[in-house]
Structure 1
Amino acid sequence: MSSPARPQPWKLWSTSLGLMALSEASLGATAEDTERRQAVPVTLAPTQVQGEHRPGYKRDVSDSVKFTAPLRETPKSVTIITETLMQERAASTLVDALRTTPGITFGAGEGGTPLGDRPFIRGFEASTDIMIDGIRDVGRMTHEAFNVEQIEIVKGPGSVYSGRGSTGGTINLVSKTPKQESYAAGSLSLGSDQLRRTTLDLNQYLPQQNLALRLNAMQHEADTPGRDQVEVSRWGLAPSIAFGVNTDTRATLSYYHMQTDDIPDQGHPVSAISGKPVKVDRDNSYGFAKRDFRKTSADLATLQLEHDVNDHLTLRNTTRQGRSMQDYLMSRPTFGADPASVNNELAGVVLRGAARGRNVVNNSLINQSDIFGKFHTGSIGHSYSAGLEFSRERIEVKNRYAPKNSETDPADLYHPNPKAPYAAVPRGNGQHEVTRHNNRALYVMDTLALHEQWDLNLGTRFDNYHVRDSAQSNRNNIWTYQAGLVFKPLPYGSLYLSYGTSFNPSGETAGQSGGADGAAGGRLISNLDPEKSRSLELGTKWDLLDERLALTAALFKTEKSNARTYDPISNEVTLDGEVEVKGFEMGASGHLNDRWEVMAGYTYLDARTVKYASGKNTRFDGNRAKFIAANSGSLWNTYLLTDRLKVGAGANYVGKRYTNDANSRSLDAYWRYDAMLAYRVNSNLDLQLNVLNLTDQTYYDASHVGMFAIVAPGRSAELAASLRF
């Protein structure tokens, strides 16, 4: 919670001693002394009052060194979700945070397409475009927020910044690192639906040793609000140590571990008659609580070395070894295949025996070397970043579970029993499918200060990408580009026009997508060239109210003219498809005054599959892209009523989304409202009450090819106590 500026104790003591000395001198002074002082002017040193700084919603720069200008002068749309905003909105996962961000919607996993975070940005899937500290996170997991400082969402084609993929944008999770202060902090959250969450944040700064250490930890147990027999359980640990703090040569060593043990939930079946989720009680659960499970683990070890050659040149090398695993078995509630689906629905029967299972292990070794700084060539200033990237990824999918016949284990549509007896799931054949991704890349970014009011942003990247499995392989050498012209009519505002490209190679999501993703999925096909995307964006950014409030707006168009599609005659995957996304977005973040802070945005997306076929005689030319809402908006604002009491409220809107290529199945639009009340007891203790989904609205987060829909959480309340010493 923000608080007014408070003087530091030593400032108060020094001011008090000074006033006492002046008083004593005045009492003992003679009339002659008084006249002499009145005749001679006295200049007092300025008094500084320092307050505790608590960051809010507005950010001026990106954490990534690849952004060579402040955000206001970067010709690209970037949305930053700060730790303050996540805490105020009680967001504990990446999905919680992104759910409140306009322009982002979600898809669901199943068996071939794994469970985990599956966001869509500006009309394109970004599940394999999630970064942690600028390095790709290979495994599709459920990301926690306990070790996240902020989330940076970079929108539009951006392979120059992050390599393959990045068609709609990328999501970068910035990790917490050691700080130059010593403190002990922690929180305890208790709430409805058996919520119990604890976090710990310890930081120790040793200035004489130029050393800082930090430990973040978390444990979370809860039922899912509004759902029957759906539970989540996870814990995480993230120690880090920084050497050479405040010296020219620095090193940071960090480790991250998290593991989960949940009961997965595939929500409600979608009606074969209406094309929408069936109208049943929200808490209806069609799984088997004693059979279904999902266990995951993630381990990341990172070493970052950094050296300042001089004030204008820095070298950095980052090495990360990563391993993630997920193992699950779950029920899929459907009415079966047409035309039997209609008969089953009319009879009130849901099929849940088509058990979907997956066991996958992802290993990666990634090294990035960066050089960044500033220099001049004549009158032109340069702010640049260049680097090399080498990565090796290995995805091993184990056939541990054999899918069951979908006609077994039926459930009553209106009165399912999650604790009902179930038939055993046969074991798989034990075979392993291994996919390997190797990449070598070179990239250069530069912001040229052509004039006081004109900047030119340029960037290029070369990727040598090779993917292979036991049967086939594909290799690509691809150049991608970024260019933007920035005009600054005033020191606190900019206008820009930018162009960017990206590429999606065959095999990009091999081991991470299934047959239900269709031709558009990134499965490995030998000798198939990459898809290529390009985007044009016209935007403006302004920092108003003494640069405390950031306003942004942008018009954009993204085209993929060689999208993967099926040949309507041969049924082979070709590059004859076309996808187009046109849109507009605007946003605001920061302070309206000393007590009122806001984060708001609106996005309009016209996302269409201009040319696409899913097989023989099944064309979907001109249809809207599935999972994408045309309209979405978000508002969150807080107001400091007193020095100790803050209130907050917000609303999110997501428009109608189609869930299949034929546009015959959909999810309705919805509004969701949240509220917060926070109270600062003293300098060490804060209390915060959140009520999420105030109206207990039943809505759906995601779907998977329109067969079932994931139910979003119902109304919940939680009280958090945060301590800091």
Structure 2
Amino acid sequence: MTSKAIVSSSAKPPIRLMASALGLAFASTASAAAEFAEMSASPQDAKTLDGVKVHSTVVNTTSPKFTAPLLDTPRSVTVIPQEIIQQTAASSLLDVLRQVPGITFGAGEGGNPNGDRPIIRGFDSESSIFIDGIRSSGSQSRELFDIDQVEVLKGPSSAFNGRGSVGGSVNLVTKAPKAENFVRGTAGLGTDSYYRGMVDWNQQVGADSAVRLNVMGHRNDVPGRHGPDMSRWGIAPSVTFGLHAATSVTLSYYHLQSDDTPDSGIPYNNPFAATSPNARLNGDGRPYSVPRGTYYGWLDRDYQKQGNDIGSILVKHDFGNGWLLRNTTLYGRSTNDYIWTQPDDSQGNFLVNGGIWRRNNNRDSSTTNLTNQTDLTGEFETGSLKHSVAAGIELSSEKTQRTSYLVDPAKNAADTHNAGSIVNGACSSKYGIGAPSGYWCTDARHPTPNDPFYGAIIGGQNPTRVVTDTRSAWAFDTVSFNPQWSVNGGVRFDSFRTKSTATTTSTGAITRIGNDADFWNYQLGVVYKPAQNGSVYLSWGTSSNPPGVDAGDGADGLAMTNADLQPERSRNLELGTKWDVLDSRLMLTAAVFRTEKTNARVATGGRGSPQINAGKQRVDGVELGFSGQVTERWSVYGGYTYLDSELVKTGPGGAASLGNQFPNTPKNSFTLWTSVAITSRWSVGGGAYYQDKVYGDTANTKWVPAYTRFDAMASYQVNPRLTLQLNVQNLTNKYYFDKAYASHYASVAPGRVGMLTANFSF
């Protein structure tokens, strides 16, 4: 692997040129990023280049299931290191995944919760997010203050991670105690009331133990939006006993608390069906044309509060001779409580009469997760064959309790919007703009977010409890025949049991449903190394996605319509290559792949109709990557992804969507982060991010335009212990949309923001 640093430039993505490189592509963008991730600062690794210090440290994936270095792993894997997180001033999962082409984010609602929803290679990965290799259950908006690096595994990967993982998965690696003493931190302020402070303290205790403490406080208004804001704080202590002993124990705890005013997005401009007499009023399907600051939220009513607590015990024992046993026990609890406004376009209010209904989306959920995971890794030989193996078992139980709110706009008990006595979202003459509707109707072009709210909010509606138990076992082996050829194989068995108990508030009726599924998944790859600094691989992998994969708190819930269905099946075939060039200073990668989902769940009719396993979906793609040092002072990190998605079979309920493009799946996307060390003290950097047009729905009638965004960074080292860093995100103040919901609205991306941060260490 190469030693690398990071650097800057701004260039428009050469999309057409890169697309024409289809025939040249053989490997994963991700690995490139992973290789580039060799950048965490370590004093002993610093090189002096005419007074410029270039720090480089090899960064690899932390997963014990990877039985070969990333250069020789037949998978697309991206590792985003701490230095990229710091240079880009990323603070959320959405921020950091912007560095990876081929990933978009989906928007939430009520049943589909408002939280992190990454779309990887066209498939929803909301329920395939992990922390230190353990599934992160529950809908959340995740922070990075206690995260050391972020790892993205692309393509169907249930052999590695179990249920779901159709498009890929995301693993967040936390900061662990080390055998050294330091205090590091940041203090930042910026435009739009931006304030952020973090402290990372590590202290060795005696010869063989250490404690580490990370704390964070954050607040900001959303740039360019007149209303939403974010406020959160977190603390994460950990302690390790036996740093240098054969047996070590690490105890850790994590708490994050947030209190935000959520954004409401912008409605699409085509709510009417083609057969409607009002269809003539429709636009072309893009978001309604209003200024970026147009905010439909209701500040007197809307809120989102989240809490996240995780406690874990990690025990490791080194048997010697390369054999290591690890056991992790984790208990986590996450809560997500919100009421927020969706500008309801279902009745075409803003097209017909200029008013828009402030429909409320709400949720009050808590999810607990108790997991015990054991894995054993080691190496041995059988004759001339060398084996690098990993095997393990996992036992987990996830429990979700969720309810909704009755948010009542009525003027009297018999006249309620939620009871259906008026048409949902109808800003009619009876329910006109402003006071006549109790302010539930507002002007579509000039909404008034400071209107008073007089309605009642009653909690505990329609309680649902979901319990998901999983038992899993896996084994992986990389067999090296000689320095040129190796084979990687893996298998995993999952026994999945999920049950849902729902109560109808008005009648007390109880509905019980469940799904039991046992399934196997596989991974197989062949690696050929024509030279020590390069590899060519061919890999195949599978995934299984049973109903209820979200453990009751995501977009893929268990319901009467799907409870009896078999798991969806996915497979990925990928041909790739990875090369270190320029004396191992620059990593180049390319890949071509096909991902297919069969047995996909499709509706037999309209919304709420029974589903059947009759669909088929396919993505053909190309990924190119580059990462490393072009010169001693100039480094790059980036990639390009082409995704050709198609709904191949849609079933009787979706014939009109046959052949359409996947929602939230851009054909072309490009990312670049680059930085230049000008002198021993001055560095400059920047990013360029391009994404093609994406659709919000499978009918391909609602969409958001393509965009290019630029970021900039400059840093100055005041002294060895203090560096000042200026970041400007969305440098040109581009008005664009970063999330597309299926039916009603698109989320507005933040406008330009400037942040000045002091990074200190001692």
How does the TM-score come out when normalised to structure 2?
0.85
Please, what is the CA RMSD of the aligned residues?
2.0
The alignment partner of 2:656 has SS state of: coil
User: Where does residue 269 of structure 2 map in the other structure?
Assistant: 271
Shift of the 446–164 alpha-carbon distance from structure 1 to 2, 3 Å rule, reads same
Per the TM alignment, residue 345 of structure 1 is displaced from its structure 2 partner at its CA by: 1.9
Residue 679 (structure 1) aligns with: 716
Residues 623-638 of structure 1 aligned to structure 2 (within 5 Å): 623-638=660-675
Counterpart Cα distance in 1 of 2:100 and 2:571: 24
Task: Tell me, in whole angstroms, the C-alpha distance in 2 between the residues paired with 1:450 and 1:254.
Answer: 41
Determine whether 1:511 maps to 2:591. no
Q: Provide the rounded CA distance (Å) in 1 between the counterparts of 2:700 and 2:519.
A: 34
User: Displacement, 1:58?
Assistant: 8.0
Task: List gaps (5 residues or longer) in structure 2.
Answer: 7-42, 48-52, 271-281, 410-416, 418-424, 427-436, 502-511
Distance change in 2, residues 1:429/1:682 (3 Å):
closer
AA of the residue aligned to 1:724 = S
Following superposition, the deviation at residue 81 of structure 1 comes to 1.0
For residue 589 of structure 1, give the secondary structure of its aligned residue in structure 2: strand
| Alpha-carbon distance between aligned partners in 1 of 2:57 and 2:689, rounded to the nearest angstrom | 19
Q: Which residue of 2 aligns with 1:345?
A: 351
Once the two structures are TM-superposed, the CA of residue 523 in structure 1 deviates from its matched residue by: 4.5
Return the offset for 1:474.
1.2
Kindly report which structure 2 residues correspond to 1:710-721, keeping only aligned pairs within 5 A, or say none. Answer: 710-721=747-758
User: In 2, are the aligned partners of 1:686 and 1:722 still within 8 Å (CA)?
Assistant: yes
- CA-CA distance at 1:413 after TM superposition: 1.8
Say which is worse superposed, 541-550 or 628-637, in terms of deviation: 541-550
| Partner Cα separation in structure 2 for residue 559 and residue 717 of structure 1 | 42
Residue deviations 1:170-199 (CA, integer Å, cap 9, x gap): 000010111121011111010000001000
Q: Is the 8 A contact 2:46 2:56 kept in 1?
A: no
Q: Does 1:227 align with 2:233?
A: no
- Per-residue CA distance 1:99-147 (angstroms, 9 max, x = gap): 2321001111111111100110011000000000011000110010111
Instruction: Find 1:649's aligned residue among 656, 661, 686.
Output: 686
Change (3 A) 1:50 1:177: closer
1:131-170 maps to which residues of 2 (within 5 A)? 131-170=130-169
Report the residue type matching 2:384 in the other structure: S
- Does 1:472 find its partner at 2:513? yes
Aligned partners of 1:249 and 1:307 also within 8 Å: yes
Cα distance in structure 1, aligned partners of 2:564 and 2:352:
47
Q: Superposed, which structure 2 residues align to 1:115-194 within 5 Å?
A: 115-194=114-193
- 2:673 is matched by which residue type in structure 1? W
Q: Secondary structure at the match of 2:731?
A: coil
Report 1:60-71 matches (<5 A).
Answer: 60-71=59-70
What stretches of structure 1 of length at least 5 have no aligned partner? Answer: 4-48, 515-519
Determine if the alignment matches structure 1 residue 709 to structure 2 residue 707: no
2:599 to 537, 562, 578: 562
1:24 is matched with which residue? Answer: none
How far apart, in 2, do the equivalents of 1:262 and 1:614 lie?
42
Aligned-pair identity in percent equals: 43
Q: 1:388 corresponds to which residue?
A: 393
**What SS does structure 1 have at the residue aligned with 2:458?**
coil
Contact 1:130 1:171 in 2 (8 A): yes
Matched, 1:553 2:553: no
Matched, 1:214 2:212: yes
Q: Does the CA contact (< 8 Å) of 1:357 and 1:403 recur in 2? A: no
1:587 counterpart (625, 629, 632): 625
Residue 232 to residue 74, structure 1, CA distance change in 2 (3 Å): same
Deviations, residues 478-504 of structure 1 (Å, cap 9, x unaligned): 110000000000001000000000000
Distance 1:513 1:71 in 2: 31
Instruction: After superposing the two structures, state which structure 1 stretch, 53-62 or 478-487, moved more.
Output: 53-62
Pick 1 or 2: higher relative contact order, CA cutoff 8 A, min separation 6: 2
| Structure 2 residue matching 1:161: 3-state secondary structure | helix
Aligned equivalents of 1:392 and 1:402: distance in 2? 33
Q: Which residue in 1 is equivalent to 2:344? A: 334
Distance 1:59 1:349 in 2: 57
Give the CA deviation at 1:548: 3.1
Larger radius of gyration: 1
Matches within 5 A, 1:405-444: 405=417, 406-407=425-426, 408=437, 409-428=440-459, 430-444=461-475
Following the alignment from structure 1 to structure 2, what is the Cα–Cα distance between the partners of residues 677 and 76?
35
Q: Is the 8 A contact 2:378 2:388 kept in 1?
A: yes
For residues 461 and 582 of structure 2, the distance between their equivalents in structure 1, rounded to whole angstroms, comes to: 63
The 3-state SS of whatever aligns with 2:178 is coil
Per-residue CA deviation, residues 196-241 of structure 1 (Å, 9 max, x unaligned), is 10000001123x4301111011000110000011110000001111
Measured after TM superposition, the shift of residue 627 of structure 1 is 1.2
Letter in 1 for 2:164: G
Identify which of 473, 480, 497 aligns with 1:449. 480
> Corresponding residue for 2:297?
287
Look up the SS of the partner of 1:639 in the other structure.
strand
1:73 is aligned to 72
Whether the 8 Å contact between 1:262 and 1:294 is mirrored in structure 2 is: yes
| Letter of the structure 2 residue corresponding to residue 473 of structure 1 | G
- Provide the C-alpha distance between the structure 2 equivalents of 1:56 and 1:700, rounded to a whole number of angstroms: 36
Distance (whole Å) between structure 1 residues aligned to residue 661 and residue 493 of structure 2: 33
Q: Is the 2:513–2:559 contact (alpha carbons within 8 Å) kept by the matching residues of 1?
A: no
CA positional deviation for 1:613? 4.5
CA separation of 1:593 and 1:269: change in aligned 2, threshold 3 A: same
Residue aligning to 2:697: 660
Aligned pairs for 1:300-339 within 5 A: 300-337=310-347
The DSSP-based 3-state class of the residue aligned with 2:600 is strand
Distance 2:201 2:5 in 1: 21
Q: CA deviation at 1:52?
A: 4.3
Residue 494 of structure 2 contacts residue 518 of structure 2 at CA under 8 Å; is this kept in 1? yes
The structural deviation recorded for 1:469 is 1.3
Which SS does the other structure have where 1:140 is aligned?
coil
